Structure 1
Amino acid sequence: MRVLGIETSCDETGIAIYASDGGLLAHHLYSQVALHAEYGGVVPELAARDHLNRAVPLIQQTLTAAQLNWSDINGVAYTAGPGLIGALLVGAALGRSLAWAAGIPAIGVHHLEGHLLAAHLESPAPAFPFVALLVSGGHTQLIAVHDLGKYQLLGESLDDAAGEAFDKTAKVLGLPYPGGALLAQLATRGDPNRYRFPRPMTDRPGLDFSFSGLKTHTLTAWREEQLTRTDNEQMRADIARAFEEAVVETLIIKCRRALAQTGLTRLVLAGGVSANQRLRERMQLAIAAVGGETFYPRAEFCTDNGAMIAYAGWLRLCAGQLEPLSFQVHPRWALDSLPPIKTADAI
């Protein structure tokens, strides 16, 4: 089976083709960063309109790269949620319409399930069960992945997601949108011993997160230091380093706690923030120190992309899961409400 994946949950248009007899055949991504930069954040209406403009040409580009015709596609997977409702509707309407016209099945994919399974696009892929840290601009969650489609939420952020805190802190430091990756680059020039910021909610039991207070602490430190220090560029780098160190260590502490609580030994990093190099390096060492293994997809599959949607949709379509011609999108969608995937049929 060859499945076309369509991802339009926010500000990136992702298209990919995944096949039973060849794995990932082709994928393309168009980012709207430049479109939203002047507004300092994603404008939902503009995002939806740009998906309308980009999706069909990207589909054709991906078919060409895979050396396929539309008649070679056996199924369509599209992101049905969570995400921006207008953006989701573009991908869902397009995916369902293409499938109806071709007489092939289509299925709506949970965006977070796509992220959780993205590491299976790599080799070696993590065996089930495992703990996943899903860390992005919109989510910071610890999830026990017992099997395909069997997910248990262990903990989540009570306020800002880690990626959101990165972006907001970058704005405080005067970095342009989107600032999270730029903050991480700036942190490489910072002195790790200059400041030590708090590691929120690590002094109490549990697996929930909170990054809002850390963001406020960083803002306070930035304002106070501006009154006494004159080396603004180095101060900016030092504060960025302290913020990043605090986030990374907090995530490590919670991940090790989750593995101990569940008795599992495999950890999967997923979501945009999981591309952070310091997080990957430090997490791998910390998990190895307690006898565990760490897995993560390549950087291009950490952010929103069509490959993860094509793969997750391929699994569900191969397992025989079908949907009616009508479709729904879900701006909010609980991950544990998904039906399990019958592993033997899907693989």
Structure 2
Amino acid sequence: MTDLESCRLCEWRCSADRLRGERGVCRTGRAEVAATICSAPLTSYIVTLLGCCYRCLHCNAYRISQYPDPGWHYAGYVPPAALVADAREQIAAFPGPRIRTIGFTGGDPIVHLPYIEEVAAEVGRQGLGVGIGISTGGFATPETMERIVDLCSVITLEIKAWSDPVHRALTGAPVGPVLRNAASLVREGRDAIRVFRTVVIPGMTDGEVGAIAGFIASLDPSVPYRLIGFRPNNVLYYHPGPSREEMERLCGVCRDAGLEDVAWSGYYPEAVPDEVGAGAARFTAAYGGDPAAALTAAYAAACGCPTHPRNCGSCPLRDRCPATLKEPWRGR
């Protein structure tokens, strides 16, 4: 952990002695774990670490990325050996597909790279047989990025904006290092790239997507690019998200720019989804003819809720409720 004695892992190069309690831009000392979960869609044991080198206005995990400032408390430091042992237990008990990686997210886990390297070494010592993954905003030094490429079998990189003014306004940081690292990742670690991605924020980053797509295509048109629809939160809580039509249009822009593998997820609906509206008619009788109750119940049914009128006390699925914890990484 000697890197933390004069930390220069990200491009802020603060030189903070994080082992002695000095706080750089990321505000963190040793790595602290917020949560862990086995993800079927990602076939990964996900470890969420606290802290970030950005101050993104749109961050949907701001209680984690801006830790300790929001005042929430988490599990704290977990020794690498204990983390890998816990991963072994959770993976063995996981009923889904085979878990192939321990994936680190945040915040931005690049500020905890020495910890991740220790975990990787412990994976080898314990013979767990999984790779290492990382999801990052790409604000690493060249030296840190080289270590990430050498270490990780799966890498997701988020390019939050193309122009420096927009990137600075949104994240508080310049975009140059991110674009440099994206290029080096394609050049040196193409096989490890899971996706590049951008959150589409109307009036902010939607106009950046075409340039980002053109940049990626100039590096390698086969790199997968994913557009994520912004959901209002954090400082941008009252800012609208994109429509389904806008997400479709932007995918077309990306393909026109030369990218071969483009997809999107998430949008901000301006009306009740068709499938929910149509389903509401089925529940009118069950809820005493009350259209508001029927519409509300249709949302639960769309998740897979089987009991109508709803009665969680007698539900056969109460131990595995499909209407609970609908995080995107769990899948639908």
Per residue, is there more strand in 1 or in 2? 1
Higher gyration radius (CA): 2
Give the structure-2-normalised TM-score. Answer: 0.34
Give the structure-1-normalised TM-score. Answer: 0.33
